[in-house]
Amino acid sequence: MRINKYLSASGVASRRKCEEIILAKRVTINGAVVDVLSTDVNEKKDVVCVDGIQVKLPGEFVYLKLNKPKGYACTASDEKGRKTIFELVKSDVRLFSVGRLDYDTEGLIFLTNDGEFANLVIHPKFHFEKEYHVLVEGAVKESELAVLRKGAVVDGKRMPPAKVKALSFDGNITKISVVINEGQNHQVRRMFEAIGREIRLLKRVRIGSVTLGGLSRGKTKPLTAEEISSFRGDK
């Protein structure tokens, strides 16, 4: 098994991040520093360490979905001392988040120790949709929604097109569904800033075919076998 795949499958990080760790010379195999991405690992004999700590392939994979509340960072530790999502999770194995949600964004996020699964979910080439519910003040015009569908221009560059529709208006707040499949940094917030709208609440409610359902804020639930297989498919 290639070293980047081994680290990813061991739950260290996504495969792309593992490549960065390898190139930074933070990985050793049997005591020797490795910085070549094509290096192979003998899973049964080799001792692999990251920053001096041994990492192993998990005996059992864990797949959780979490309803992330606002005010939590999606990191194992936060340099600003903020609360992290891992304070909400009870697990006997080391987990990492599949992608991230902004500190002030809430909703669906996956936690796992299966690097291959994480790569399937977040890799751009697989185009799994992510749906968000957005709350903004006032009535939103159809012309504004049309701009978002086409791709709002931010800093002189056009954002990717999105599926956008108004869900409700209570006389004060408009609730809007936004579906994207690329996931650029702060994409949804930047889209609404481009049309002069400030987001009151941003919540991710779906990844692929997996929804939050009735999961309460701050709670986790194991993904079902059907939900996990929906990302694997024939890919």
Listed by start position, the domains of the chain span: 3-54, 63-125+210-232, 129-207
Predicted confidence (pLDDT) per residue in 71-96, tens digit = 999 988 888 889 999 999 988 788 89
CA 138 – CA 117 distance, rounded (Å): 40
Contact call for residues 199 and 189 (beta carbons, < 8 A): yes
Confidence of residue 127 (pLDDT cuts 50, 70, 90): confident
Of the residues 78, 102, 155, 170, only one is catalytic, namely: 102
- Mean pLDDT within 31-38: 95
Task: For domain 63-125+210-232, give its CATH number from 3.40.50.2300, 3.30.70.580, 3.30.1360.20, 1.10.10.10.
Answer: 3.30.70.580
Task: Say which amino acid occupies 28.
Answer: T
Q: Report the pLDDT value the prediction gives residue 155, as an integer from 0 to 100.
A: 83
Confidence of residue 105 (pLDDT cuts 50, 70, 90): very high
Q: Report the pLDDT value the prediction gives residue 211, as an integer from 0 to 100.
A: 97
Distances 65 to 22, 72, 104, 207, 224 between C-alpha atoms, Å: 29, 15, 18, 10, 10
Predicted confidence (pLDDT) per residue in 164-182, tens digit = 999 999 999 999 999 998 7
Predicted confidence (pLDDT) per residue in 201-234, tens digit = 999 999 999 999 999 999 999 999 889 988 876 4
Q: Is the pLDDT of residue 192 over 70?
A: yes
For residue 51, indicate whether it is catalytic.
Answer: no
Domains 3-54 and 63-125+210-232 share a fold: no
Q: Report the pLDDT value the prediction gives residue 233, as an integer from 0 to 100.
A: 67
Task: Say which amino acid occupies 182.
Answer: E
Residue whose entry in the numeric block shows the structure tokens 């701009």: 147
State the average pLDDT for the chain.
Answer: 90
Task: For domain 3-54, give its CATH number from 3.40.50.300, 3.40.50.920, 3.10.290.10, 3.40.640.10.
Answer: 3.10.290.10
Task: Say which amino acid occupies 113.
Answer: N
Homologous superfamily (CATH) for 129-207: Alpha-L RNA-binding motif (3.30.70.1560)
Kindly state the greatest CA–CA separation across the chain. Answer: 66
**Pairs from 122-125 (Cβ < 8 Å, separation ≥ 24):** 122/14, 122/98, 122/183, 124/182, 124/183
